[in-house]
Structure 1
Amino acid sequence: MPLTAHQLWMVSLSAPVGRDRGVSRTTLYPYARVDDDGARRRLAEQWGITSRGELVARLDELSRVGYRARARRLTGVAPLAWDAALYTDIARRGFACGLIGEGDAWTALKNIVPSVAGTYGSWREYADHYLLGRQVWRDGLRGTDDEAAAAPQAVADAHLRSLLDPANRASPWNLAPWDAIRDPDHTPSPSPSRRTRQ
């Protein structure tokens, strides 16, 4: 069943996080193919999340404080977009590996919408703040074992440019424009490239 415009918009909050080929940016399930073990592994290795309680606690922390508190101290700006992207990614992976059900995943995503929609006026503003948050996060990794594991900033920059490119028909940000969350919800028509031939 296709996502509504609002659902696609919410899922699209995590689009900057998923740069791998196997990710899905247009479904609640975060992968193009079933990979519950991959979701479970990523949550455990990157976030230390192995239970529903740990998942809920991490989502709560990202929604209330997240990394933006440190960013505000260092830059004077609190980039909510970085935390919102991580929050959405974690909720989707929690759904993928069964730590939360579909209804709980949608509820979690709906909970972040008011603050994100009230903070930004476009996907470009969201992307700019995501990159700022990511830079502060990367700077915090300097001299640690995790520094080498983080993708270079140039990779993140290129990914965001691709998401913002109006010619990119696969970009969820083009499929669900920023203002879609403020308009009445509906099921979007398939793009011309996705229509089946009769």
Structure 2
Amino acid sequence: MGLWNIRRWTKPKARTGRRYPTPLSAHQLWMVSLSAPVSRDHDASRTTLYPFTRIDDDSARSWLAEQWEITSRAELVDRLDDLSRSGYRARAQRLLGVAPLAWDAALYADITRRGFAAGLITEADAWTALKNIVPSVVSAYGSWQEYADHYLLGRKVWRDGLEAAQDPSPPAPQAVADAHLRALLDPANRASPWNLAPWDAISRPDRAR
């Protein structure tokens, strides 16, 4: 008599669009797009406030705890405050004389979105947090290209610091980040949020998409 291997059936996770069906406005998509450089995973959503294409609150909670030691609203707020005030760009300023805000802004937006998914902040709180970083970013850069250049500079300084400290879990090679940024900046890439929300969109009146 043969034995059957029975796999436990699990209900597929709901797609993000079913929980949040209303498309983002132009300003909202622009703010979400600040995190596009760090949203490389296949399950990442780049056109919704929720960071994944399918609802997965547990993954957001696990990632925040493992990568940032964030398990509470207070810890999330403290980390966002640090990234907005100085973040990793302070080290770059000491080493290079340049403070790449884009690196910290991308992390700030990414953590905000995951904090929302993890239930540490409300949707309204998340939008408020993203709005708070906009003036600094707009005053520092004039295009997504400039933003991308400084993001890559900040990432390199961060990565070099990890290598110097002999971190046991090295990040993805710089070439991977370079390729991802090229795809985001490619004018022929219709899926790029940077093409869907051009840089100057945040300086024009908001509109529905």
For 1:113, the aligned partner's letter is V
Aligned to 2:138: 117
- The CA deviation string for residues 158-184 of structure 1, in whole angstroms up to 9 with x for no partner, is 000000000000000000000000000
Q: Could you say if the C-alpha distance between residues 147 and 10 of structure 1 is closer, same or farther in structure 2, counting changes exceeding 3 Å?
A: farther
**Which segments of structure 1 move beyond 2 Å, counting only runs of 4 or more?**
143-149
Structure 2 portions without partners, runs of 5+: 1-21
The percentage of aligned residue pairs carrying the same residue is 77
Q: Could you say if the C-alpha distance between residues 121 and 147 of structure 1 is closer, same or farther in structure 2, counting changes exceeding 3 Å?
A: farther
For 1:19, the aligned partner's letter is R
For 2:23, the aligned partner's letter is P
TM-score with structure 2 setting the length:
0.88
3-state SS of paired residue (2:53): coil
Equivalent residue in structure 1 for 2:38, among 11, 14, 17: 17
Equivalent positions of 1:138-157 (< 5 A) are 138-144=159-165, 146=167, 148-157=169-178
Q: Could you say if the C-alpha distance between residues 16 and 147 of structure 1 is closer, same or farther in structure 2, counting changes exceeding 3 Å?
A: farther
- The CA deviation string for residues 28-55 of structure 1, in whole angstroms up to 9 with x for no partner, is 0000001101100110011000000000
Q: For the Cα contact (< 8 Å) 2:162–2:170, is it kept in 1?
A: no
Residue 29 (structure 1) aligned with residue 50 (structure 2): yes
Aligned to 1:54: 75
Shift of 1:145: 5.5
Equivalents in 2 of 1:107, 1:41: separation in Å? 24
Quick check: which has more Rg, 1 or 2? Answer: 2
Q: For the Cα contact (< 8 Å) 1:138–1:147, is it kept in 2?
A: no
RMSD between aligned alpha carbons?
0.9
Q: Could you say if the C-alpha distance between residues 185 and 151 of structure 1 is closer, same or farther in structure 2, counting changes exceeding 3 Å?
A: same
Residue 102 (structure 1) aligned with residue 94 (structure 2): no
Equivalent residue in structure 1 for 2:199, among 159, 175, 178: 178
Q: For the Cα contact (< 8 Å) 1:12–1:26, is it kept in 2?
A: yes
Q: For the Cα contact (< 8 Å) 1:82–1:131, is it kept in 2?
A: yes
Aligned to 1:39: 60
Residue 64 (structure 1) aligned with residue 85 (structure 2): yes
Equivalents in 2 of 1:61, 1:91: separation in Å? 13
TM-score with structure 1 setting the length:
0.93
Structure 1 portions without partners, runs of 5+: 189-198
Aligned to 1:79: 100
Equivalents in 2 of 1:187, 1:23: separation in Å? 23
Equivalents in 2 of 1:187, 1:78: separation in Å? 34
Shift of 1:146: 3.5
